[in-house]
């Protein structure tokens, strides 16, 4: 079983309390994915890879079926620690669910703030 992140668990909380519907939750997750910077771009920004390396990784990963980071390691361009650091950076660069719910106008900001506090309290006491 795959564990949900706190952000995904909050979306589930909103679904369970019928604040949003499944279509809204999926739209938020899609927008979040679309606004998450790709590993290749982050590696370029951090000067861990150059453009040629990124293009080679992208072109060869199609044949191998590996993910970008796995292919970069296989080609010797990144090591495990570098990939882990890029993945952490990618996670931190990902927009938050609360922000997206507000931007996409699925939930009013005041309501969202109140529900998020309620959710965090429930997490703190172990109800979720």
The whole-number pLDDT of residue 3 equals 65
DSSP 8-state secondary structure symbol assigned to residue 20: S
DSSP 8-state secondary structure symbol assigned to residue 70: H
The whole-number pLDDT of residue 123 equals 87
The whole-number pLDDT of residue 124 equals 84
Closest C-alpha to 67, from 45, 89, 86: 86
**Spans of all domains in the chain:** 1-36+95-128, 37-93
CA distances 63 to 38, 69, 81, Å, are: 19, 15, 25
Structure tokens of 33? 């994915």
DSSP 8-state secondary structure symbol assigned to residue 21: -
The whole-number pLDDT of residue 127 equals 62
Give dist(CA 20, CA 28) in Å, integer: 11
Closest C-alpha to 50, from 77, 76, 70, 71: 77
Give dist(CA 128, CA 123) in Å, integer: 5
* Contact call for residues 46 and 89 (beta carbons, < 8 A): yes
Q: Tens-of-pLDDT digits for all 128 residues of the chain?
A: 566 789 999 999 999 999 999 999 999 999 999 999 999 999 999 999 999 999 999 999 989 999 999 999 999 999 999 999 999 999 999 999 999 999 999 999 999 999 999 999 998 887 65
Q: What is the pTM of this model?
A: 0.78
The whole-number pLDDT of residue 68 equals 97
């Amino acid at each position: 079983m795959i564990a949900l992140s706190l952000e995904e668990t909050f979306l589930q909380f909103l679904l369970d309390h019928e604040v949003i519907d499944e279509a809204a939750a999926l739209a938020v997750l899609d927008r979040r994915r679309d606004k998450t910077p790709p590993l290749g771009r982050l590696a370029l920004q951090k000067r861990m890879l150059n453009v040629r390396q990124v293009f080679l990784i992208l072109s060869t990963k199609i044949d191998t079926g590996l993910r970008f980071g796995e292919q970069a390691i296989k080609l010797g361009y990144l090591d495990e620690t570098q990939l882990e650091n890029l993945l952490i950076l990618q996670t931190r660069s990902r927009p938050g669910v609360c922000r997206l719910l507000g931007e996409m106008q699925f939930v009013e900001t005041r309501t969202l703030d109140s529900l998020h506090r309620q959710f965090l309290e429930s997490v703190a006491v172990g109800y979720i």
